[in-house]
Each structure stands twice: as C-alpha cells, then as structure tokens.
Amino acid sequence: MDTPSDVVGRVGSVLRALAAAEPDGATTSGLARGTGLARPTVHRLLSSLLVEGMVDRDGATGRWLLGPELYLLGAAAQRRYDVTALAQPHVRRLSLTTGESAFLSARRGDETVCLVREDGSFPIRSHVLHEGIRFPLGVASAGLVVLAHLTDAEVEAFLDRHDLTAAYGAAHAPDALRARVRATRETGWAVNPGLLVEGSWGMGAAVFDGDGRPAWALSLTGIEQRFGPARQPELGALLLHEAHELTRALARR
C-alpha cells in the first residue's frame, strides 16, 4: 500500500517532468516514460491534479500542461525564492559582452533547473538550454560547476545515487565526472565540451548562498569554435566576475 510520501513523491516527479516539457506539454505516455511510472498511475495522478487546477489539458491535442493553480502558488512563493530579478542584469551583461547565450540555473536537490535565458548577438545559437529544463548535477556546465563545489563526500554520495551513463553516455561515467570535477576546481569554472549535443559547448560558474554553498550557476553556451582553449580564460574570467557580483548581491538581499 502506498504511503502519503510515496504519493507526494510521484506527484512531484510528474509535475517536474511536465515542467520540463513546457511550453508544448506532454502526453500521458511521455510522462510515464520520463518518470518511470506506470501509465495508469500517471493518468490517475494527472486526473486528480486536473481537478485541483495543478495541471491543464489541451482539448485539441490531449497533451497535459501546467495548470493555473501552480502559477498562483508560484506567485505567492516568489518573494521568498525568486532570484531572477537580481540575476537578470548579470545574465544580460554576459550575453551582451560575449555574444553568446547566457543563463541562470538553480540547484534543486540533485538537479539544476534553468531559470533565465538571454540570447547574445552571435547568429548561431545553442538550444540545449531553455527555461524550465532540468539536468542532473554533473550534466551541462551549470550542473558540473555546482557538483564541483560540493565536498568530496557529497560528490561521492551523488555518484553512488546516480548512474548517468544510461541517459548521457560514457562521458558521464563516475571516473570521467571525477576528472571534470578536478579540472573545474582548478580553474573555478566548468567546461562542457559538447557532451550533450555535438558541437554545442558550455561554460559555467557557481553562485553561492549565504552559507557558502553552490545554489545557482551562471553559464554560457555556443558553438565549439567560439569556446576554444584560446578564449576559455576570457569567458571564464567574465563568468567568475558576474558570479561573484551576483553572490554579493544575494548576500545583501
């Protein structure tokens, strides 16, 4: 028999998967695959959430979408948790200065969630990241830089909990991740050399909370030719500067 915590965990998994599918929404089968839950279970949860206004359903396509009640709940929580207003100038400055797409991502448990995107002036852009997309720690430059700023014990505990190779390939095996964590700690910034989408590179720097913990990350993405070894120190220094300034702004708040 399911406990209340089991049900809440499943609801959370469904809502997070649905958020990652915005703005197009998702089918019941797609959400079942994304959460690892049985399709009848997902449909039952969605039907209950629909009654509560937590999800909505497109009458023409049958696809599920986030519902209006979540918007109201989010608006109520915004004052306490929203950092996007403070972060926006830093993200915009990175995009204007570099010409690349710039982002703010937030740590949520063992994942990072993209909150803000600003496209730069360079005409060829990477579309790996968008608002609402989630990746495990260690995946993409934001997740890697957050992981690298955790303690060794926390890194090892994360690697024990998660096998990233099935979804992200051998480049995300534990030893490969450990090597990238070490490299990130040496420079202060993380580099994703096209490991999610070939030719799409990224770099990230951590932003810290009042306890000195990596809670957010600023990142840049673009084509491989613009993230080569000669330019990485320049981009890394810009990321570290803006990350430091945002950390200070958050502390003053």
pLDDT, one tens digit per residue, over 50-86 is 999 999 999 899 999 999 998 888 777 766 667 888 9
Give the whole-number percent of the chain exceeding pLDDT 90: 72
Domain 4-73 has CATH 1.10.10.10: yes
The encoded tokens of residue 121 equal: 């002036």
Q: Is 205 exposed, middle or buried (0-12, 13-18, 19+ CB in 10 A)?
A: buried
Q: According to the model, what pLDDT value does residue 1 have?
A: 57
CA distance 45 to 35: 12
CATH code assigned to 82-252: 3.30.450.40
What is the residue-averaged pLDDT of the chain?
91
In degrees, rounded to 5, the angle at the alpha carbon of residue 149 between the alpha carbons of residues 133 and 111 is 20
Contacting residues for 60 by C-beta, under 8 A, at least 6 apart: none
Residue 142 has pLDDT above 70, yes or no: yes
Task: Please name the residues in contact with 156: beta carbons below 8 A apart, sequence gap of 6 or more.
Answer: none
Q: Is the pLDDT of residue 237 over 90?
A: yes
> Which of 188, 218, 215, 186 has the alpha carbon at shortest distance from 202?
218
Mean pLDDT computed over 161-166:
92
Q: How many CB atoms lie within 10 A of CB 126?
A: 19
Give the per-residue pLDDT at 133.
Answer: 86
CB 70 within 8 A of CB 54: yes
pLDDT of residue 81: 66
Buried b (16+ CB within 10 A) or exposed e, 216-242: bbbbbbbeeebbeeeeeeebbebbbbb
78-126 confidence digits (pLDDT tens)? 666 678 889 999 999 999 999 999 999 999 999 999 999 998 777 566 6
Q: Taking a C-beta distance cutoff of 8 angstroms, is the pair 135, 162 a contact? A: no
- Alpha-helix residue ranges (DSSP H) falling in 108-225: 140-148, 152-161, 165-168, 174-187
What is the average pLDDT across 168-196?
95
pLDDT of residue 156: 97
- Give me the residue spans of the domains in the chain: 4-73, 82-252
Q: Given pLDDT bands bounded at 50, 70 and 90, which one contains residue 2?
A: low
pLDDT confidence bin for 219, thresholds 50/70/90: very high
